[in-house]
């Protein structure tokens, strides 16, 4: 999120990284190299500490089963990786000072990944709904104002018009273009379920904190309406 110059609503020392690999053997080689460079394995085989930072380093690609899932050999835990190929294909590319190419997921794909990841472990990932709301609130500021007026000017006429609502709608339209049908349907199913729970939704309770959830529900509903 910092790559996109977003104003974060919370300080963070953790990062989620994904590596595209063809087998568990290749993933284990990466783990060994990391631990040989000072990374310390923490609570799971994908979780590492380096100095004061925490990293989740997740494999995807040919390592997944036919349902776009990882079955972790350590404990048999299943992790839904649907959408990672979409995020990889549409990611922003840049090179580090050492010449390594790194891909950064687009903000709209990041919303999708966070929704799906949250659904796997909702009580363990209360920060995901907060991050999603931060992306929505700052989406136009992250280089999308010109696109709003040049390509999606009809959104300016929405009633009521706010920066947050326009951002939510534009994310929905971007997801319609960037993401596969399967990933969009998974995300839609999760969020519609949470919307149906109203005040009892864990997702919206985490997103809103001690505030009223209605504005947050409105923005998510608007985003879904544009994903079509």
Q: What is the pLDDT of residues 35-45, one digit of tens each?
A: 999 999 998 99
114 and 171, same domain (yes or no): yes
Please say which residue of 83, 105, 127 terminates a domain: 105
83 and 136, same domain (yes or no): no
Note the pTM of the prediction, 2 decimals. Answer: 0.89
CA end-to-end span of the chain: 26
Residue 8 located in a structural domain? no
Q: Per the structure block, which two tokens stand in for 51? A: 């100095």
Q: What is the mean pLDDT of the chain?
A: 93
96 and 144, same domain (yes or no): no
Mean pLDDT of 11-26: 86
Q: What percent of the chain has pLDDT over 70?
A: 94
**Tokens 């009633």, located at residue:** 159
220 and 127, same domain (yes or no): yes
pLDDT tens figures, 72-117:
988 888 999 999 999 999 999 989 899 988 999 999 999 999 999 9
pLDDT on residue 43:
87
Q: How many angstroms separate the CA atoms of 77 and 70, rounded? A: 8
Mean pLDDT of 175-179: 96
H or E element: which one contains 181? helix 181-196
Task: Determine the structural domain holding residue 45 and report its residue range.
Answer: 14-105
Q: Per the structure block, which two tokens stand in for 54? A: 């925490």
Residue 121 located in a structural domain? yes
83 and 132, same domain (yes or no): no
101 and 119, same domain (yes or no): no
**Residue of higher predicted confidence among 11 and 24:** 24
Q: How many angstroms separate the CA atoms of 209 and 159, rounded? A: 26
Residue 127, pLDDT above cutoff 60:
yes
79 and 133, same domain (yes or no): no
Residue 5 located in a structural domain? no
Position 14 confidence tier, pLDDT thresholds 50, 70, 90:
confident
Quickly count helices (H) and strands (E) in the chain. 9, 8
Please say which residue of 105, 126, 159 terminates a domain: 105
113 and 222, same domain (yes or no): yes
pLDDT on residue 7:
57
Mean pLDDT of 135-164: 96
In contact, 63 and 49? CB cutoff 8 Å: no
73 and 176, same domain (yes or no): no
Residue 4, pLDDT above cutoff 70:
no
Position 228 confidence tier, pLDDT thresholds 50, 70, 90:
confident
pLDDT on residue 13:
66
pLDDT on residue 75:
86
Q: Where are the alpha helices (DSSP H) in 37-180?
A: 84-89, 107-120, 127-138, 145-151, 163-178
pLDDT tens figures, 52-66:
999 999 999 999 999
127 and 181, same domain (yes or no): yes
Please say which residue of 43, 73, 105 terminates a domain: 105
134 and 181, same domain (yes or no): yes
34 and 58, same domain (yes or no): yes
Residue 203 located in a structural domain? yes
> How many domains does one find in the chain?
2
pLDDT tens figures, 150-163:
999 999 999 999 99
pLDDT on residue 85:
95
pLDDT tens figures, 183-194:
999 999 999 999
């Amino acid at each position: 999120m910092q790559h996109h110059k977003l104003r974060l609503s919370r300080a963070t020392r953790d990062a989620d990284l994904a590596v595209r690999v063809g087998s568990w053997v290749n993933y284990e080689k990466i783990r060994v190299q990391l631990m040989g460079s000072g990374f310390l394995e923490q609570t799971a085989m994908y979780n590492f500490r380096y100095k004061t930072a925490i990293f989740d380093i997740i494999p995807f690609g040919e390592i997944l089963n036919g349902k776009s899932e990882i079955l972790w050999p350590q404990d048999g835990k299943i992790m839904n990786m649907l959408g990672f190929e979409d995020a990889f294909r549409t990611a922003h590319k840049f090179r580090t000072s050492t010449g390594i190419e790194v891909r950064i997921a687009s903000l709209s794909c990041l919303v999708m990944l966070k929704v799906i990841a949250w659904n796997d472990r909702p009580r363990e990932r209360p920060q995901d709904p907060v991050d999603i709301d931060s992306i929505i609130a700052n989406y136009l500021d992250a280089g999308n104002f010109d696109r709003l007026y040049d390509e999606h000017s009809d959104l300016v006429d929405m009633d009521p018009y706010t920066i947050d609502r326009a951002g939510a709608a534009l994310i929905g339209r971007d997801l319609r273009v960037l993401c596969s049908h399967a990933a969009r349907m998974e995300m839609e199913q999760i969020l519609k379920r949470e919307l149906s729970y109203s005040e009892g939704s864990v997702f919206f309770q985490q997103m809103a904190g001690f505030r009223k959830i209605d504005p947050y529900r409105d923005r998510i509903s608007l985003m879904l309406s544009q994903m079509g």
